[in-house]
Amino acid sequence: MKSYLIVFVIFAYVYAAQADVYLEEKFNDDSWEKNWIYSKHPGKEFGKFVRTAGKFFHDEEEDKGRPLLRAQQEIQAFRTEGKDLVIQFTVKHEQNIDCGGGYVKVFDCSLESEDMHGESPYRVMFGPDICGPGTKKVHVILNYKDKNHLTNKDIKCKDDVYTHAYTLIIRPDNTYEVQIDGEKVESGNLEEDWDMLPPKKIKDPEAKKPEDWDDRATIPDPDDTKPEDWDKPEHIPDPDASKPDDWDDEMDGEWEPPMIDNPEYKGEWQPKQIDNPAFKDLYKQKEICGIGLDLWQVKSGTIFDNILITDDVQYAKDALASLKDKQEGEKKAKEEQDKAEKEASASQDEEKKDDTEDEDDEEDSDDEERVPQVEEPDHDEL
């Protein structure tokens, strides 16, 4: 079985520091061929990139995207500080993928365009990954201190043959959201959902417990007195029993006053919290220079389209306005295609059946022609 390591990198120039949209690639025409650089990393076999709407589609020209490839286009870097980072794209596994990725990687400016490969460092890896019935998930991998960290959440991806949109939003407050087809499927905090950052607060190593700190939640009530009727025996003699020789008459235990809340109680003592000098803000990206596809697939044919990097969440949402119509159109086209293939298959089966019957008839005819003629011997009439 032939496999492919597919690598694709795209870089697009950012002309304004305050730009809302850093990259938007819809592959509307063949101009992409002038802007994309194919990686030349040695030792791997890579798939080729073509512009196509696939085998079934809603609008042939509008739906044209890019199957797997290995290429890139350089851009000017941008920073994410103080802004949302939105990564969005559509992917269509029309080959009914059984094992392979459909994710993207976001790179900083250290990437060598023509040498991109599977081990090239990246900042974010995001998108679906499918392999058999056991692996059908959305990767959200973040790089921190040159180490890749997988999310602790199990996010399920789509596994059908139609177009689906994947959106990752990372916000300045270190929160994130993952969407599929514009609907939220997971969200949370970067620090809590990835095991990569030390806690924001740590115990002050110089702090000591105050001498007057009282850990007791309650203390004896100094104003409480022993009730006058307290001293009653716990047991009385059984009138029907005789006193054993070893019987002890001192049955009452030592009296203790009831407990009340201690007004001096401060709770369990803990050191005050101070800022953790080891804490780093994960959200901030000093530079982002490109987005790429670095994929291994058993069966090629995945179509990527509508690649978008922006700081405008609403813009990304608006970009998916026609997605539902596209999906419905694809489903209708796929049904018609399946019906036509089924009818064609049935027609072929019928033709084969007719051919077989004709061959059988010819064989029967040949057999009849080959029956030897029996000559009766001459004899005298009686």
Structural domain boundaries in the chain: 4-196+283-334
Task: Please state the residue numbers annotated as binding site for an alpha-D-glucoside.
Answer: 103, 105, 122, 129, 294
Task: Please state the residue numbers annotated as binding site.
Answer: 103, 105, 122, 129, 294
Label residue 285 by pLDDT band (50, 70, 90): confident
Label residue 380 by pLDDT band (50, 70, 90): very low
Q: Write phi, then psi, for 228 (nearest 5 degrees).
A: -65, -30
DSSP 317: H
At residue 81, the pLDDT reads: 78
At residue 252, the pLDDT reads: 47
Cβ within 8 Å of residue 41, ≥6 positions away:
7, 114, 115, 116, 117
First to last CA, the chain: 84
Whether residue 7 has pLDDT greater than 50: no
pTM over 0.75: no
**Mean pLDDT lowest for which of 39-48, 118-127, 159-168, 316-325?**
39-48
Both tokens of 7, joined, read 């690598």
Structural contact between residues 306 and 230, judged by C-beta atoms closer than 8 angstroms: no
According to CATH, the topology of domain 4-196+283-334 is Jelly Rolls (2.60.120)
Question: Tokens 């009385």 belong to which residue?
Answer: 236
Q: Mean pLDDT throughout 155-169? A: 94
Both tokens of 284, joined, read 């901030």
Structural contact between residues 210 and 292, judged by C-beta atoms closer than 8 angstroms: no
Q: Give which of 72, 48, 109 is closest to 288, Cα–Cα.
A: 109
Question: How far is the C-alpha of 175 from the C-alpha of 188, rounded, in Å?
Answer: 6
Q: What is the mean pLDDT of the chain?
A: 75
Both tokens of 373, joined, read 């003629």
Label residue 14 by pLDDT band (50, 70, 90): very low
Whether residue 136 has pLDDT greater than 90: yes
Q: Of the spans 72-76, 111-115, 376-380, which averages the highest pLDDT? A: 111-115
Question: How far is the C-alpha of 207 from the C-alpha of 347, rounded, in Å?
Answer: 86
At residue 91, the pLDDT reads: 92
Question: How far is the C-alpha of 177 from the C-alpha of 201, rounded, in Å?
Answer: 25
Cβ within 8 Å of residue 369, ≥6 positions away:
none
Q: Give which of 167, 122, 171 is closest to 284, Cα–Cα.
A: 171
Question: How far is the C-alpha of 259 from the C-alpha of 262, rounded, in Å?
Answer: 9
Whether residue 69 has pLDDT greater than 60: no
